[in-house]
């Protein structure tokens, strides 16, 4: 996914195949966090280099049900969704290839165990990804079905043993399909085809699976093809907080008329306050007065839709490339053209952004620095999305997170307030007076 245009290609195929949740291996993004683009949200977990990395890409509706996620390692990520009547836990894994020794494989299964232990026993648990293992076409208890592909290998033994210990069913071995709906990876020049990508589900929820098979027609420029599992699961949408809007605060400095109107409105509201009110309640009333006055006087900042560098011509070429999968020469030619056009389009877009930043540096430095962060990726969320307990265990349940927040030290928040860097002289006199009053209460949180 580190390749230019890869994410756009994946989103396009995801829409075409009507996939709500997509597990990704070899994302090759550094760090861990979440990233929203158009109507999709990507949760990712990587290392310190553009190597390995896993992610889970959700469509707009599914992302509204996210409870949290855990970036376990650069090969394992967990995401939890609110469901009804059961919550859903999804683990994406990427097992080391045959080039790695057994220690690397052991470490992978230790990490995927860590992710599994964060799931509740009554969750609908899905484990999916590139496991670089062949489980074969022979039934093994309730774990492996009779409709797999090829012969089981040593890595397949590891996977089957792990699934058995966690009572998981390998879904894409239980449905009779044409062989082209079984293989998930092919070697260069198409000499070998193997089934090494799987989707597992908790045995108690096996009957919720409608179908599970590979889709060789999908194309994202990879030697793997997606395995699509259709499942009967109802998700619960979380209460969405209202979107905050931004006001043009700089006008309080630049526009004398607006500054005067704002001062009058704040003063009128402050005069109506009851000074005998308790400190905390008085602060809430003053805060509401300040904000209400600002909303009445200051215009909102118009949020313009970000211009993307991806073009319709490139997207059309991607579709043409997909239709040429059976013709290696034409496929390779179109793929090369896509790479060239992606590089040209992104370079043109970057030049336009640089010119925009240069023009804004002398007028609005805050906007310019914000655009620099957006372009370089620094504005991307880089937190793991989860709160940890004192012992370091990741908390993903609401009551546990609230309890952890209640353990926070008030003095740390007070210190953060004191460290705020602003010039109080820029504010109206009434706010300056209140600030002096507030700072006298050293023990007030």
Q: Are residue 123 and residue 224 in the same domain, yes or no?
A: yes
Q: Would you say residue 35 lies in a domain? A: yes
Rounded to an integer, what distance in angstroms lies between the CA atom of residue 77 and that of residue 396? 13
Higher local confidence (pLDDT), 393 or 369: 369
Rounded to an integer, what distance in angstroms lies between the CA atom of residue 377 and that of residue 50? 14
pLDDT tier, 435 (very low <50, low <70, confident <90, very high otherwise): low
The predicted structure's pLDDT at residue 422: 46
The predicted structure's pLDDT at residue 282: 82
| pLDDT(155) > 80 | yes
* Identity of the highest mean pLDDT range in 82-86, 233-237, 410-414: 82-86
Of the residues 376, 402, 424, which one is the last residue of a structural domain?
A: 376
Q: Would you say residue 178 lies in a domain? A: yes
- What pTM was estimated for this model as a whole? 0.69
Rounded to an integer, what distance in angstroms lies between the CA atom of residue 438 and that of residue 435? 5
Which CATH number goes with the domain that contains 71? 3.60.10.10
Q: Would you say residue 333 lies in a domain? A: yes
pLDDT tens digits for range 90-119: 999 999 998 898 999 999 999 999 999 999
| pLDDT(189) > 90 | no
pLDDT tens digits for range 50-80: 889 999 999 999 999 998 899 999 999 999 9
pLDDT, averaged across the chain: 82
pLDDT tier, 44 (very low <50, low <70, confident <90, very high otherwise): very high
| pLDDT(409) > 60 | no
Average pLDDT of 285-292?
87
pLDDT tens digits for range 205-258: 999 999 999 998 787 778 899 999 999 988 877 666 556 667 878 788 878 888
Q: Are residue 206 and residue 325 in the same domain, yes or no?
A: no
Q: Are residue 120 and residue 18 in the same domain, yes or no?
A: yes
Contact 103, 111 (CB under 8 A): no
Question: How many domains does the chain fold into?
Answer: 2
Average pLDDT of 298-304?
71
Contacts of 94 (CB under 8 A, 6+ apart): 25, 26, 52, 53, 54, 75, 76, 129, 130
The predicted structure's pLDDT at residue 306: 57
The predicted structure's pLDDT at residue 366: 74
Q: 211: domain range?
A: 6-231
Higher local confidence (pLDDT), 39 or 375: 39
Of the residues 231, 258, 293, which one is the last residue of a structural domain?
A: 231
């Amino acid at each position: 996914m580190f390749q230019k245009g890869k994410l756009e290609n994946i989103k396009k195929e995801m829409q075409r195949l009507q996939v709500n949740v997509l597990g990704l291996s070899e994302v090759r993004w550094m760090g861990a966090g979440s990233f929203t683009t158009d109507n999709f949200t990507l949760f990712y977990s990587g290392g310190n280099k553009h190597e390995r990395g896993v992610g889970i890409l959700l469509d707009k509706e599914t992302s509204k049900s996210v409870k949290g996620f855990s970036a376990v390692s650069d090969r394992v990520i967990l995401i939890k969704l609110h469901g009804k009547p059961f919550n859903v836990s999804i683990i994406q894994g990427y097992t080391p290839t045959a080039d790695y020794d057994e220690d690397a494989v052991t470490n992978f299964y230790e990490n995927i165990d860590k992710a599994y232990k964060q799931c509740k026993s009554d969750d609908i648990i899905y484990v999916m990804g590139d496991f670089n293992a062949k489980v074969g076409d022979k039934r093994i208890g309730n774990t492996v079905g009779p409709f797999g592909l090829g012969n089981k290998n040593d890595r397949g033994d590891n996977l089957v043993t792990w699934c058995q210990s966690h009572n998981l069913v390998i879904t894409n071995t239980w449905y009779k399909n044409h062989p082209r709906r079984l293989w998930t990876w092919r070697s260069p020049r198409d000499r070998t085809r193997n089934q090494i990508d799987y989707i597992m589900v908790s045995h108690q929820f096996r009957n919720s699976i409608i179908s599970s098979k590979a889709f060789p027609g999908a194309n994202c420029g990879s030697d793997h093809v997606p395995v699509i599992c259709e499942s009967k699961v109802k998700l619960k949408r979380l209460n969405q907080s209202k979107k905050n809007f931004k006001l043009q605060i700089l006008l309080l400095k630049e526009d004398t008329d607006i500054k005067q109107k704002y001062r009058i409105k704040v003063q009128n509201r402050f005069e109506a306050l009851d000074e005998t009110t308790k400190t905390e309640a008085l602060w809430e009333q003053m805060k509401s007065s300040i904000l209400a006055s600002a909303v009445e006087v200051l215009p909102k900042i118009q949020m313009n839709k970000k211009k993307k560098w991806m073009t319709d011509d490139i997207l059309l070429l991607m579709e043409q490339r997909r239709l040429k999968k059976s013709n290696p020469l034409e496929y390779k030619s179109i793929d090369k053209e896509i790479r060239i056009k992606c590089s040209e389009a992104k370079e043109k877009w970057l030049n336009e952004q640089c010119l925009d930043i240069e023009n804004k540096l002398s007028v609005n430095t805050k906007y310019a620095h914000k655009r620099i962060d957006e372009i370089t990726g620094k504005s991307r969320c880089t937190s793991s999305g989860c709160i940890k307990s004192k012992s370091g265990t990741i908390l993903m349940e609401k009551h546990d997170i609230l309890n952890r927040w209640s353990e926070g030290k008030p003095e740390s928040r007070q210190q953060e307030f004191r460290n705020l860097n602003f010039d109080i002289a820029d504010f109206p006199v009434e706010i300056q007076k209140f600030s002096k009053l507030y700072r006298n209460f050293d023990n007030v949180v």
